Amino acid sequence: MKKVTLLFVALFTTMFASAQTTFNLDWFVGVSEVDASITIEPGDTVEWTWTDNLPHSVTSDNDATESFDSGVLTGNGETFSYTFTMVGVNGYDCEVHSAMVGTITVEEIASVEEKFAVNVNYFPNPVTNRLTVTSLFVLDTYKVVDILGKTVASQSLEGNIADIDMSQFNSGVYFVTVTSNDLQKTFKVVKK
């Protein structure tokens, strides 16, 4: 019985460890709340990187599920990591620059596909000129399809941000698909 218990513990630990992911967030004056907010699973780690030469902190709000605080770090290249273990919502901010805010939502996510889907953000919608798509995963491509199913734009990507020029598109509804390896998400955008 003892061997079976040890085997189960080892198997569970291996499965839990392999599911853990580290997500990187750039932390700088002017970062949007959307870019500083992500949804992760228990056991995932978030690493914030200071990308300007100013002092910042990453400090949990009083009502956050977990308590974390980097203290004030002095600038470019500094990092702070925290591994989240409890399901819940964790608002945070910079004690030096009050406009720098974000939220780390921790929930049980069924799959990598779902983790990708919940962490693709896009704005503005409706769009007039440029649509910005952000992801925690490196994006490979985007494709924009009109309501009739015709591809009106597509491009290969190498990064976490897609900047899509929609200024020349006719007003109407479009479907945007972004991919990262075998993962994909499609969402509807209205062009004014």
Tens digit of pLDDT at every position of the chain (192 positions): 444 333 333 333 333 344 588 998 999 999 999 889 999 999 999 999 999 999 999 999 999 999 999 999 998 899 999 999 999 999 999 999 999 999 999 999 878 898 899 889 999 999 999 999 999 889 999 999 999 999 999 999 998 899 999 999 999 999 999 999 999 999 999 999
Q: 21-106 architecture in CATH? A: Sandwich (2.60)
Instruction: Report the CATH number of the 112-191 domain.
Output: 2.60.40.3080
The phi and psi torsions of 131 (rounded to 5 degrees) equal -105, 130
Neighbours of 181 (CB within 10 A): 11
**How are beta strands 45-50 and 22-27 bridged, if at all?**
parallel
Span between the terminal Cα atoms of the chain, in Å: 66
Indicate the domain borders of the chain. Answer: 21-106, 112-191
